[in-house]
Copies of this chain bind each other. A is one copy, B any other.
């Protein structure tokens, strides 16, 4: 019903995370109502994104290299590190494995964790069809092997998908003989005992202090 060029953009926006066709249509009409300069700003921001952003050669976190480091620039920048990985104050004996970029951000905001990260790039079951080959498991093993890392924190969601990934990684990393931990379960802020599931409540008793 929409004209073809609107339909096409609706289809593209519908693939964005959390976006359905109805919201995608609202995005298109929003764009139609923008000034030319605003559209140009969006186009520029999208098109320069991939140029400006690199993935950290250690943790795969997207980062924007400072200009100085560009000048020094070692060709393709293959060994460039993000701000966290290049920070000498971060504890190199700790490695926190997360599913995705936003999980890293969330953990950083707590200022609780002072080690380094590793972004796995997904979970086991989401990638079922194509096996687990899209997870950065080889890179993870390589980072851990013969390193100064002493503890690997598998900071995965306590969801079925996260659990499956956690078990998979535990098997994979076991031969490397490092301490492997997982995040503590318990009652979250604001919870009520009465509505807590048994596993969560049991963990809350185990972790009492």
Q: Are B201 and A110 in contact (CB under 8 A)?
A: yes
Please state the number of chain copies in the assembly: 4
Among A68-76, A139-147, A176-184, the stretch that binds chain B is: A176-184
Q: Which residues of B contact A167 (CB under 8 A)?
A: none
Q: Is A174 an interface residue (CB 8 A)?
A: no
A184-209 residues with Cβ-Cβ distance < 8 A to B are: 184-194, 196-209
Q: A6-B49, A26-B102, A109-B1 are in contact. Are A204 and B186 (CB under 8 A)?
A: yes
Q: Are B106 and A194 in contact (CB under 8 A)?
A: yes
- How many positions in chain A have a CB within 8 Å of any CB in the partner chain? 86
Chain A interface residues toward B at CB < 8 A: 1-6, 8-9, 12, 16-18, 22-23, 25-32, 36, 39, 41-43, 45-50, 52-53, 62-64, 98-103, 105-110, 112-113, 153, 155-159, 181-194, 196-209
Q: Are A46 and B41 in contact (CB under 8 A)?
A: no
Q: Are A17 and B26 in contact (CB under 8 A)?
A: yes
Closest to A207 in B: B184
